[in-house]
Amino acid sequence: MDYIKIRFGDELEQFDCDFEKTIQGMFRSMSPVFRLTQRSWRPQMDIYETPHEIVVLAEAAGVAKDDLEVEISSRAVKVSGDRPPAPKGENATYRLAEIQYGRFERMLFLPVPIDPEKASATFNNGFLTVRLAKKPRDRERVCKVPISEG
């Protein structure tokens, strides 16, 4: 079984930086003037939910397991890593170059709270699978509140 580095915490580091990158990404799609200084790519991801867990599936072909990192809080998961460039052929002339290389980072906000201590991650055939156990919902308590004269 392969293990991926997982860090836990209530607050994920550099949230402001990630939020800024997200905003820049939205504007970059509208105008090429808005560009990040560092070239980055975004692996495709799926998120699905079962009654007991949330599963994140990330396509990360060409990324070594040791170059992947998963950070989890109770409401978000951050997947980051690095895909090194493929070796270029000697005296080669590219006719098509679509594969993106370099550092990537994705922050996903979860639809329900999860238990970070029960998270697991595996990497197989270029796919990272992160399993996040949902926190059990506490039974709602109804309390009567006495009303006093003000």
Q: Which CATH number fits domain 5-11+41-83+99-133: 3.90.180.10, 2.60.40.790, 3.40.1190.20, 2.60.40.10?
A: 2.60.40.790
Separation of alpha carbons 68 and 81, rounded Å? 4
Residue 113 corresponds to which tokens in the numbers above?
């709270």
pLDDT of residue 86: 85
Q: Which of left, alpha, beta for 134 (phi over 0: left; psi -120 to 50: alpha)?
A: beta
Q: What is the CA radius of gyration of the chain?
A: 20
Cβ contact 70:57 at 8 Å? no
List pLDDT tens digits, range 107-126: 999 989 999 889 999 999 99
pLDDT digits (tens, 9 = 90+) for 36-57: 444 578 999 999 999 999 999 9
CA 104 to the chain's CA centroid = 10
User: What are 10-43's pLDDT values in tens digits?
Assistant: 455 455 556 656 665 655 555 444 444 445 789 9
Q: Do residues 40 and 102 make contact, with C-beta atoms less than 8 angstroms apart? A: yes
Q: pLDDT tens, 46-85?
A: 999 999 999 999 999 999 999 999 999 888 999 999 999 8
- DSSP H helical ranges for the chain: 15-30
What counts of helices (H) and strands (E) characterise the chain?
A: 1, 8
| Residue 15: CB atoms within 10 Å | 13
The residue extents of the domains of the chain are: 5-11+41-83+99-133
